[in-house]
Amino acid sequence: MRGRIVLIAGNSNRPLALQVCSHLGIESCEALVGRFSDGEVRVEIGENVRGKDAYVLQSTCPPVNENLMELLVIMDALKRASARRVTCVVPYYGYGRQDQKDKPRVALTAKMVADLLVVAGASRVITVDLHADQIQGFFNIPVDHLYGTEVLLSDLKVRLQGNEVIVAPDAGGVERARTFAERLGAFLAILDYRRAEAGPYAQIVGDVRGRRVVILDDMVDTGQTLIRAAEGAVAAGAASVEACAVHALLSGDAVERIESSALQSLTVTDTVPRDEKAARCEKIRTVSVASMLAEVIRRVHYEESVSSLFTRT
């Protein structure tokens, strides 16, 4: 594979990019990814990429606009340097939460970003746990939609106690939680949360009394959804409560909220790098998607099946 494939790391998640390179047995492509004095993104590819299979690894996580622009400029530089194919590897796809026109006069940013990536030169997109599956349809190029929950599942399997209940924190996460529970042989419960005149109402639908509750979500941003589900599980008599989420955005004072919450632990992946505050939090655990991304890149490069990697048995 060496010499025929290059991987360029943006500044958003260099540790993950270096781990992926290590699994592939290659060095990260030499490139300058910086800024001009006025703040414009400056990119210079430092080695010959003509005719090569180029992969750009960049999470469009906060600062979202900076990281997105870096990704676009890197791809443009590769395209103009005559790379044979440019594949955009986006472990976390930013702007994905605006994926439908659910009210008048709102933007479809998930579609807008898809258009930007294609115009900038992407031949293919590899991403992890999109906020909604239909975002794949916004692209006119192939999209490999990977499941970070596979990594979380593997981690939880080695820590099974036999009395788990998987909780979906909202209606949108029911299918994800159901699949997770089925593969673990665990029970399923759902948080019913609604805002009423008398105040917010939260109740777990399902039996969690005396059981180990695992709340599953695709991302944790402010942490309020997970904490609400944890409080509902404790009120329903759960023996213990922990959470799993693929993308750890942890905005604002989310870390402090988690630290003081009923959650015993929060397991996340490294699609989004942890800041110093999150790294110091003893409740937050991280498992890596690096080996999964490396294997998918290898399969794409050699034109092998990617879907077979996620065939559920």
CA 53 to chain centre: 24
Tokens (6 digits) for 133: 């599956």
* 170 is an annotated ligand-binding site residue: yes
* 223 is an annotated ligand-binding site residue: yes
Query: Please, are residues 135 and 110 in contact by the beta-carbon 8 Å criterion?
Result: yes
- Distance spanning both ends of the chain, measured CA to CA: 30
* 280 is an annotated ligand-binding site residue: no
* 203 is an annotated ligand-binding site residue: no
* 145 is an annotated ligand-binding site residue: no
Give the three-state DSSP class for 204. Answer: strand
* 221 is an annotated ligand-binding site residue: yes
* 270 is an annotated ligand-binding site residue: no
* 206 is an annotated ligand-binding site residue: no
**Nearest CA among 265, 259, 220 for reference residue 242:** 265
The interaxial angle of helices 64-80 and 109-120, nearest 10 deg, is: 30
CA distance 139 to 303: 20
* 39 is an annotated ligand-binding site residue: yes
* 44 is an annotated ligand-binding site residue: no
Give the residues across from 126 on adjacent strands.
89, 144
* 195 is an annotated ligand-binding site residue: yes
* 19 is an annotated ligand-binding site residue: no
**Nearest CA among 251, 250, 257 for reference residue 231:** 257
What is the Cβ-side half-sphere exposure of residue 38, based on CA atoms within 13 angstroms? Answer: 1
- Report DSSP state, residue 2: B
Where is the binding site for Mg(2+), in residues? Answer: 131, 170
Where is the binding site for D-ribose 5-phosphate, in residues? Answer: 195, 217, 221-225
Where is the binding site, in residues? Answer: 38-40, 97-98, 131, 170, 195, 217, 221-225
Where is the binding site for ATP, in residues? Answer: 38-40, 97-98
